[in-house]
Amino acid sequence: MRIRFDRTRWTAGLAAVALIAAGCATGADESAAGLSDALGTTSDVNPKNRDEVREGGNLRLAVTSFPANWNTLSNDGNDGEIADIERPLMPRAFDVDAAGNLSVNKNFFTDVALTGTEPQQVTYTINPAAVWSDGTPITWEDIAAEAHALSGRDKRFLIAITNGFEFVDKVERGVDDRQAILTFNHPYGEWRGQFAGNSSLFPKSVTANPESFNKGLVDRLGPSAGPFVVQSTDRVQGRIVLSRNPRWWGETPKLDTITYSVLDQTAWTGALQNNELDLVRLASIDEVKTVRNTNGLVIRRAPGNRWRHITFNGAPGSILADARVRVAIAKAIDRQGIATATQNGLVESPKPLNNHIFLQGQDGYQDNSAPVAYDPDQAAQELDALGWKLNGEVREKDGRKLEIRDVMYNDPLWVQIAQIIQQNLARIGVRLTIDTKPGAGYFTDVIIPGDFDAAQFIFSGDAFAMSSIRQIYYYDPNDLQGNFGRIGSPELNALIERTLTELDPKKAIELANEVDRKVFEEGHSLPLTQSDGSFGARADLANIGSPGLASYDYTKIGFVK
């Protein structure tokens, strides 16, 4: 699963995931209703046939900040909100249903197939009608340029993820310009996810050289290929408008436009209630109650692929450079307490997430969190043994206080979690400072440069379970990708390589869980909770809502007649 980083309250996930979800709340206390659907079983999007959806209309959505870089393959653009904006704009190889089943996206490719195993070869046959918004045909050269940019071989490309292209030896023209043949130098089990899920195809004008890749889309998107195009952007007003693509060759979209407004997420539910937005993600039982008690609004809920976590900074010289200190601190954090405090009423039995690779309910999920099991007394003993001795209320070693700066998007729920952690750590003599940041520049100015001791944000993924393991947990100081904590080891790197090149699904799952155990032992990051997948929506909004693993068909989204 491709990982997207997201500052918003419930945006996460690193696998073809599943979650124990809540049903609609009932009764005086509005407690969760007891549904336990797993991700990969359902979606809630108010499905309607095209003839039931009226022509025209404007869909109003919200984001927390204006895109820092429209190239979602770049480190600066690897943001879940930017990816959401671009889904109706950019090509992807596969559609995904609620069960996680894949089908070739025939708008862009007539066939995508594994056509060789020794060596592994994958052949992409491009729809002959497919063109970029400037009229340029989509060809094998677009695929070849992106494969080279993401291969990691040229460090001038500031990529967010290699996505298996590090294993692609060459890309060749097939029977004509509309066919590309990828030849791999190592097996790669998640080859279907290379131009799918959160990973879209960009034109070669973007990916052909480092300058255009890194900076070419900072201010605007450039050529796209989808049912919609960018009609206008206004960074000052915080508004992005998409309109129908006049060169689109597929079904005509029902909507005329999609408008994204930049708005602090604490205001999303109020804007929905005031008929200023049409669909928002919900984060608390109070927001669920607000939507349920407002005429014309409904709750859409299906298990989501998003999860909340803490990333630690283990860079040389940092306060948490020692893995033993990170693990001790993790043991002092009451993750069950966090789950109960933040999800009571939203899910039937709140529980922490205990795996970095798979989510609850997914094939492969198991609890590998024993190295960081909650034990504050043991945590204190380990810090003592490491020379961090109590001096008053805070531990010290060599004249340095054990103080941690925890950064997060400025949002009440994020702060609530940080306050729980603050209390947990105070018990063992560790001082935690809460440092909130605005949405604008959160990743480019804070997370990517490593300006934190601990950081809270959410991962957003897709239906491809293994493709992001390298992105987050492989450590190469010259190619960080998504390893912003700068934590890892040669042993973990080697294990990740073994996992990604294993073609047997059962063996790959076993190896992935070995990776997960090692990640816990390194004190790399600490999973907290999964999203319950709650959205508030206009009752007449069709074919969009809480999708689970499913991808949207943007030509069918609209308002019921």
pLDDT in tens, 49-58: 999 999 999 9
Residue 533 vs residue 34, higher pLDDT: 533
Residue 283 vs residue 526, higher pLDDT: 526
Judged against a pLDDT cut of 50, whether residue 95 lies above it is answered with: yes
| Contact of 157 with 150, CB cutoff 8 Å | yes
For residue range 360-389, list pLDDT tens digits in order. Answer: 767 788 999 999 999 999 999 999 999 999
Output the average pLDDT for the chain. 90
What DSSP assignment string belongs to 436-448?
EE-STTIIIIIIT
Residue 454 vs residue 43, higher pLDDT: 454
The single residue listed with the structure tokens 């009932």 is 26
Instruction: Output DSSP code: residue 34.
Output: -
What DSSP assignment string belongs to 502-551?
--SHHHHHHHHHHHHHHHHHHT-EEEEEE---EEEEETTEES-SB-TTPP
Two structure tokens written together for 177: 């310009």
Mean pLDDT of 398-410: 95
Instruction: Please give the share of the chain, as a percent, with pLDDT higher than 90.
Output: 75
**What is the rounded CA–CA span in Å between residue 358 and residue 361?**
8
Residue 351's pLDDT is 92
Residue 197's pLDDT is 72
Residue 39's pLDDT is 67
Mean pLDDT of 86-99: 93
Judged against a pLDDT cut of 50, whether residue 101 lies above it is answered with: yes
Element holding 234 (H helix, E strand): strand 228-234
Residue 16's pLDDT band (boundaries 50, 70, 90)?
A: very low
Residue 512's pLDDT is 94
Residue 346's pLDDT is 85
| Contact of 140 with 173, CB cutoff 8 Å | yes
| Contact of 297 with 537, CB cutoff 8 Å | yes
Mean pLDDT of 198-227: 95
Instruction: Output DSSP code: residue 354.
Output: -
Residue 18's pLDDT is 26
Q: Packing angle between helix 505-522 and helix 490-500, nearest 10 degrees?
A: 160
Kindly give, in sequence order, each residue whose CB lies less than 8 Å from that of residue 298, ignoring residues fewer than 6 positions away. Answer: 291, 536, 537, 538, 539
Helix (H, G, I), strand (E, B) or coil at 214: helix
| Range with the poorest average pLDDT among 152-156, 456-460, 557-561 | 456-460
Mean pLDDT of 35-44: 68
Tell me how far the alpha carbon of residue 75 is from its chain's centroid: 13
Residue 25's pLDDT is 29
Judged against a pLDDT cut of 90, whether residue 273 lies above it is answered with: yes
For residue range 111-158, list pLDDT tens digits in order. Answer: 999 999 999 999 999 999 999 999 999 999 999 999 999 999 999 999
| Range with the poorest average pLDDT among 275-284, 332-341, 343-352 | 343-352
Two structure tokens written together for 48: 């309607």
Residue 14's pLDDT band (boundaries 50, 70, 90)?
A: very low
Residue 461's pLDDT is 63
Q: Which residues of 316-348 are buried (b: 16+ CB within 10 A; e: fewer)?
A: eebbbeebebbbbbbbbbbbebbbbbbbebbbb
| Contact of 505 with 466, CB cutoff 8 Å | no
- C-alpha torsion sign, points 31, 36, 39, 43: negative
Residue 530's pLDDT is 86
Judged against a pLDDT cut of 70, whether residue 40 lies above it is answered with: no
Residue 358 vs residue 351, higher pLDDT: 351
Mean pLDDT of 269-293: 95
Residue 451's pLDDT band (boundaries 50, 70, 90)?
A: very high
Judged against a pLDDT cut of 80, whether residue 507 lies above it is answered with: yes
Q: Comparing C-alpha atoms, which of 109, 108, 89, 76 is closest to residue 223? A: 89
CA terminus-to-terminus distance, the chain: 36
Instruction: Output DSSP code: residue 44.
Output: B
Most confident of 106-115, 158-167, 354-363: 106-115
Residue 159's pLDDT band (boundaries 50, 70, 90)?
A: very high
Residue 180 vs residue 265, higher pLDDT: 180
Mean pLDDT of 333-341: 96
| Contact of 35 with 23, CB cutoff 8 Å | yes
